[in-house]
Chain A
Amino acid sequence: MYKYDQYDQAMVDARVAQFRDQVQRRVEGHITEDQFKPIRLQNGLYLQLHAYMLRVAIPYGTLNSRQMRMLGDIADKYDRGYGHFTTRQNIQYNWIKLAEAPDILADLATVEMHAIQTSGNCIRNISADHYAGAAADEIVDPRPYAELLRQWSSFHPEFLALPRKFKICVIASQTDRAAMKLHDIGIRLVKNDAGEIGAAFYVGGGMGRTPMIAPCIREFVPIDQLVTYSEACLRVYNRYGRRDNKFKARIKILVHELGKEEYTRQVEEEFAHLQTLNIEPPLAELERIKAHFTDPPFDAGASDELDLSDPDFALWVERNCHAHKQPGYISATVSLKPVGGIPGDASADQIRLMADLARDYSFDECRVTHAQNIVYPHVRKADLYALWQKLDEANLGIANLDRIGDIIACPGLDYCSLANARSIPVAQKISENFATREEEIGELKLKISGCINACGHHHAGHIGILGVDRKGVENYQLLLGGCEGDDTSLGQITGPGFDEDGIVGAVEKATDVYLANRQGGERFLDTYRRIGMAPFKEALYAPKNEIKGEPANG
């Protein structure tokens, strides 16, 4: 993975010094909170319900064991012994003191980490496929390209006061495992007929108040124009994105209001101009970065056999493990969704254990997924059982990837000052209710957001839940049929909302309808797409005592 050179380190160190000075000026009263807020946001520091919250960047979700261990140590030293992995492959700490934030950034800088632009109206952490470098179906590892764009976007002087936040995703396979089309810019690396690598640009996706799927505005940008084309997209947005209404300020609104053709025309015009300015890094820079992402030293003779005689292990392999491009190896997902647990949370001890296991079992590398889990990308099949046993001892061995128990949930009203309702208790109840039914139900991606900002990606859930405030009382809307993959679709609301117990019951009713109607090997999503909303609506909102074919109760 990428290693800083002296320039990268100098920039991160300068950023720490800058923020330390800015905090000092804030505390001394030289700048107001209104002036300071964008500054602290661009250093990842929110003021949340209970305290400051710090969001640390994990670029394209990749980190080594030294970095992972530091994240565990920070949880102990500066927070309350745990961290929360997010839907954008970052980590959050919930109990931070402003006075200590510069020290945390200084500690992070010693292991080549930072919190640069993880919040604020700027280009945020660039996400990528969590199986990058291991998946058999990618045409190239997307992460060097993500790193190139990370450096381009860091402290970019023109784009630090955008109309709103800006999220970029880079993938390199036909299968979209990173919800690419639901980003402000989604990039799919592709090959043309001549075998040359280029980028297909999808611009204007996003969730939140007005979810939209990004249209493709350019099928092939030559790879030696990747940065220039990105800059053109950003400049048009910075100049013409709406600034009159915070809820209409994302690029998806601009693309929607101009229309894809007009937005594309403006980008191409700006692109033609920018190409005359030589702002593109030379290919040698991409090659320099790529040299950090070569394959680890795989054992070519590694056995491709797996002893699946332990049924718990076999289940974990079936559900949580993903085929690797290299025979003898496999990618393994650590679920951070124990039954009744808080999705995405891990204790400092668990984080340090996961760091050690990355070092010992995965060539010193692990990944954070946008589903709030951890991936060991390169595990020898011969070592997989030993790895699983150690995970299992630490309550990290649960086999529920992409099952109903693998819930994605934002922190919600328990932590977040933007939330309308609590999301975690709903996740916990659903998790407990369905704990023994995962085999029966199969693949079901359930996502919960505590407010319309959709940090829980509820629009993209096969089942989505949105917390709302209904006259001061928490209420939950149910959505069905969302999907974040190649066949991206947005969930549809079923009807009136439910209270906390009601929403858990509603999820049960929805799965009952699925089970009663599924054909062949259909997943919940497949059945929903085939039979439509009507049977679900009927089951959810049928009057209580009206059961088809039976007399009503007295």
Chain B
Amino acid sequence: MKILTGNDLKSGAVVWWDGSGWSLHVEDAVDAGDQADTILAVEQAAQRVNAAYAIDGERTADGVRPAHIKERIRAVGPTVRMDLALKPADADAGNWVI
């Protein structure tokens, strides 16, 4: 699947295209398919997202998994400070990244 990720302009928070808007949670990410470029252009022009780009991902039993470790780190937080992760209580998050 082609998933879209970017940052919220004012807060800088990492966000994922969920089909109608931008969610903080990678599990809400949808397949933008061949609409990816159009969505990116429209959403950035409207300033609903900043510095957004498309990446590959797949749907797994655990949810949406970005193909590259960089975006998995974006989804979770710094692997060396899991107390600062998006879901600090999630003990499996570190393993999921790798």
Contacts and interface: CB of A to CB of B under 8 A. Distances in A.
Contact of B12 (A98, A428, A472): A98
Contacts of A414: 73, 78-81
A49 B80 CA distance: 14
Nearest to B7: A47
A50 B51 contact: no
Contact of A342 (B10, B13, B50, B80): B80
Given A33-B51, A47-B51, A474-B69, A415 B78 contact: yes
A33 B80 contact: no
Nearest to A500: B98
B50 A47 contact: yes
B12 A96 contact: yes
Interface centre among B13, B14, B69, B78 (most CB of A within 10 A): B78
Tell me what chain B mostly uses at the interface: helix, strand, loop, or mixed.
Answer: loop
B67 A472 contact: yes
A474 B79 CA distance: 14
A51 B44 CA distance: 17
Nearest to A37: B51
Contacts of A222: none
Interface residues of B, number: 23
B80 A80 contact: no
Contacts of B9: 26-27, 98
A97 B50 CA distance: 13
A52 interface: yes
B68 A50 contact: no
Contacts of B77: 50
B70 A413 contact: yes
B84 interface: yes
Which residue, B69, B70, B74, B79, has most C-beta atoms of chain A within 10 A? B70
Given A27-B9, A47-B51, A98-B12, A80 B78 contact: no
A381 interface: no
Interface residues of A, number: 29
B70 A49 contact: yes
Given A472-B67, A474-B69, A50 B78 contact: yes
A97 B10 contact: yes
A554 interface: no
A37 to B, nearest CB: 9
Contact of A472 (B11, B51, B69): B69
B74 A49 contact: yes
B90 to A, nearest CB: 16
Contacts of A342: 80-81
| Residue among B12, B50, B84 with max Cβ neighbours from chain A (10 Å) | B12
A38 interface: no
B19 to A, nearest CB: 23
Nearest to B11: A97
B68 A472 contact: yes
Given A29-B47, A33-B51, A414-B73, A52 B79 contact: no
Q: Interface of chain A, helix or strand or loop or mixed?
A: mixed
Given A414-B79, A415-B78, A472-B68, A80 B10 contact: no
A462 interface: no
Interface in B10-41: 10-14
Nearest to B76: A50
A97 B8 CA distance: 9
A29 B73 CA distance: 30
Contacts of A98: 9-12
B87 to A, nearest CB: 14
A161 to B, nearest CB: 21
A27 B73 CA distance: 27
Interface string A8-37: 000000000000000000110100010000
A99 interface: yes
Nearest to A473: B69
Interface in B50-96: 50-51, 67-70, 73-74, 77-81, 84
A422 interface: yes
A468 to B, nearest CB: 13
Contacts of B80: 342, 414, 422, 424-425, 428
A95 B9 CA distance: 13
A27 B77 CA distance: 26
B74 to A, nearest CB: 5
B96 to A, nearest CB: 15
B95 to A, nearest CB: 13
A430 to B, nearest CB: 14
A424 B10 CA distance: 28
Contacts of A33: 44, 50-51
Contacts of A29: 47
| Residue in B9, B13, B44 whose Cβ sees the most chain A Cβ within 10 Å | B9
B74 A52 contact: no
B7 A51 contact: yes
Contacts of A413: 69-70, 73
Contact of A97 (B12, B44, B73, B81): B12
A49 B51 CA distance: 11
A47 B74 CA distance: 12
Interface in A73-98: 80, 94-98
Interface of B: 7, 9-14, 44, 47, 50-51, 67-70, 73-74, 77-81, 84
The 4 lowest CB-CB distance pairs between A and B, nearest first, are: A51-B12, A414-B78, A52-B12, A424-B80
Given A51-B13, A472-B67, 10 more contacts: A33-B44, A47-B7, A47-B51, A49-B74, A51-B12, A51-B14, A414-B79, A419-B70, A422-B80, A473-B69
25 contacts: A27-B10, A33-B51, A49-B14, A50-B74, A50-B77, A50-B78, A51-B7, A51-B11, A51-B12, A52-B7, A52-B12, A94-B78, A96-B12, A97-B10, A97-B11, A98-B11, A99-B10, A342-B80, A414-B79, A417-B70, A419-B70, A422-B79, A422-B80, A424-B80, A428-B80
